Every structure is written in structure tokens, then in C-alpha cells.
Amino acid sequence: MSQGQFCSCGRVLRTDKEDLVVMALKCNHSAFNGYHYTPSDWSHVRCLRPGCYGSWRTKSNYVYELPDCTGDMEKLNRCQMEVDARFQQEGAAT
């Protein structure tokens, strides 16, 4: 069960979870609660592939297999740089 904008990079989510990160694991920061941390059944997932940046919320358990960047912008930036570097290398190899 998911909601939000899925990837525009052509991924098939059931089999391809590479380059995804968790932005908020089983929580939210909604305006309804003053943007404070609130436990939730839902997690926020984001695609880091260049030009995609799909973003959605899900109740699925695959989120536990992904890097958790909840509240850690440094980790998110490191993940983004790794993805960008890999795509640059793949582009240079072709």
C-alpha cells in the first residue's frame, strides 16, 4: 500500500530497490501535529536517481532493507553523492 508520486525513472519497485532511501521511518511530521515527530504506520521513501526523485509514503516492510536517512542530512547527502558518482561512471563507460 503506497501513496504519492512514484519514480519516473522506469524502475519496477517489486524487484528494483536500488537507489532508494527512507526519509522518515514509521513516522511523520505533519502540519496537523505542529510538524513534531509522530509515530506512524507509514514511512516516506525517496528515489535518488538523477532526474527522478520520486517520493512516496508506504506501509510496506521493504523500508527496513533501505538506508534510513531519517533526520540525518549528512547520510542522505552521502547516499546521493554515491548514486550520482555511480551514474557518472556508468555514463562515462558508454
Task: Delimit the domains of the chain by residue range.
Answer: 2-93
What pLDDT is stored for residue 93 in this prediction? Answer: 67
What pLDDT is stored for residue 1 in this prediction? Answer: 53
Predicted structure pTM score: 0.80
Query: For the chain, which residues score pLDDT lower than 50?
Result: none
What pLDDT is stored for residue 69 in this prediction? Answer: 92
CA 6 to mean position of chain CA atoms: 10
- For 85, list phi and psi in degrees, rounded to 5: -65, -40
Cα→Cα distances 33→43, 47, 57, Å = 17, 26, 18
